[in-house]
A = this chain, B = another copy of it.
Amino acid sequence: MSAKPGLLMFYPYMVHMAGEAAERFELVKAWEEPDLDAAIAAKGASIVAILTTGQDHPIDAALIGRLPALKVIVAVGSGYAGVDVAAARAHGVTVANAGDTHSGDVADHAIGLAFGLIQQLFPGHAYVREGTWAEKGFPPHRRALSAERFGILGLGLIGKAIAERLVPFGCEIGWWGPNDKQVPWRRHDSPLALAQWCTTLMVAARGDSLGLVDRAVIDAVGPDGHIINISRGGVIDEDALIEALCAGRLGGAGLDVFHDEPTSADRWRDVPNTILSAHMAGQTVEAMARLRSAAARNLLTALDGGAVVNEIMA
């Protein structure tokens, strides 16, 4: 039996996330165990901490019940949908996430995608590079950014960060979310009403709002409008989105997230007026450092009994 307490993890990159804290643990790497049940039976008594993505592998009551020494479950990220928080707390186990490590970065990326579409950066670049400017003169005038109406769907940390960043651009800002909030921007009655009003729909809804942006919402944004998604792919009916783009019923889409990730190149090959990115909105060097730091601190808490950062109460 090892002298070090055990740390259970499910994906190789979690070793990196644990940082220097990993040295103080015996790592139980689920992906290296041919029989995870047997491994937990053998090593479960020494496991004091779990490091998880918070969503991919279920940390349920059954697993928690088999780990009598468990003190902390650390979700590396903001989500923790895969963790049975009530069961953990009933066993005296603390659950923590990484807090707000990257909502600002994600908001920045949403705005970059939106500006890229509104300011026609891709067709504008092609216009110069392909010689159309020299051949045909100036392109047609475009709508000013200040004439844009941004509809923010979901006013959580990310949605609010988007709104705050847009203020000095002088454009109109509206939003919808299930609960009213004390903010200076007008709340619309429904996602559909927001889509009918706005020229650019910024999707920042909870990742589990599956199908919130359906065919009717997409059509309401319309041929002069754009849809940006930095939430989760499932929030949009992606087939309907592609169909609307191909038919010219939607002006453009800036997407960082997709139904299936990685999304296939074939799926987007003939779809016009898109700016796509590989779920990288929050993947900045700085956010990753904040994530690692929060994870490492919470792991050490499991050993030393300090204060847990970003404890989740329910």
- Given the known A-B contacts A112-B115, A128-B276, are A286 and B144 also in contact in the complex, defined by CB atoms under 8 Å? yes
Which of B113, B146, B165 has a CB less than 8 Å from the CB of A121? Answer: B113
Given pairs A134-B263, A138-B279, A138-B280, 8 additional interface contacts (CB within 8 A): A121-B277, A122-B122, A129-B265, A131-B266, A134-B264, A143-B286, A164-B168, A168-B168
Please give the count of copies of this chain that the complex contains. Answer: 2
- Closest-CB distance, A209 to chain B (whole angstroms): 23
A sample of 25 cross-chain residue pairs with beta-carbon separation below 8 angstroms, ordered by A number, consists of A104-B144, A108-B115, A108-B145, A112-B116, A115-B116, A124-B276, A124-B278, A125-B274, A125-B276, A127-B278, A128-B263, A128-B276, A129-B276, A133-B262, A134-B264, A134-B265, A138-B278, A138-B279, A141-B284, A143-B284, A143-B286, A144-B285, A144-B286, A146-B286, A147-B285
The answer to the question of A19 belonging to the interface, with a C-beta cut-off of 8 Å to chain B, is no
Interface residues of A (CB under 8 A from B): 104-105, 108-109, 111-113, 115-116, 118-122, 124-125, 127-131, 133-134, 137-139, 141-147, 164-165, 167-170, 261-266, 268-269, 274-280, 283-288
Which of B108, B169, B287 has a CB less than 8 Å from the CB of A165? Answer: B169
Which of B120, B167, B265 has a CB less than 8 Å from the CB of A168? Answer: B167
Residues of B within 8 A of A279 (CB): 138
- Give 9 closest A-B pairs by Cβ, nearest first: A131-B265, A144-B284, A133-B262, A128-B276, A112-B119, A124-B277, A112-B115, A108-B145, A144-B286
Residues of B within 8 A of A169 (CB): 108, 165
**Contacting pair A121 B128 (CB below 8 A):** no
- Given the known A-B contacts A121-B121, A167-B168, are A268 and B129 also in contact in the complex, defined by CB atoms under 8 Å? yes
**Contacting pair B116 A170 (CB below 8 A):** no
- Given the known A-B contacts A144-B286, A275-B125, A284-B144, are A263 and B115 also in contact in the complex, defined by CB atoms under 8 Å? no
- Closest-CB distance, A79 to chain B (whole angstroms): 17
**Contacting pair B168 A280 (CB below 8 A):** no
Which of B119, B128, B284, B287 has a CB less than 8 Å from the CB of A109? Answer: B119
Residues of B within 8 A of A139 (CB): 278, 280, 283
Q: Which B-chain residue is minimally distant from A284 (CB atoms)?
A: B144
- Closest-CB distance, A313 to chain B (whole angstroms): 29
Which of B121, B134, B261 has a CB less than 8 Å from the CB of A116? Answer: B121
- Given the known A-B contacts A112-B119, A141-B285, are A280 and B124 also in contact in the complex, defined by CB atoms under 8 Å? yes
**Contacting pair B105 A146 (CB below 8 A):** yes
Residues of B within 8 A of A118 (CB): 112
Q: Which B-chain residue is minimally distant from A166 (CB atoms)?
A: B168
- Given the known A-B contacts A143-B284, A278-B128, A285-B141, are A112 and B108 also in contact in the complex, defined by CB atoms under 8 Å? no
- Given the known A-B contacts A129-B276, A131-B265, A134-B264, are A284 and B142 also in contact in the complex, defined by CB atoms under 8 Å? yes
Q: How far is the CA of A109 from the CA of B227 in the complex (A)?
A: 20
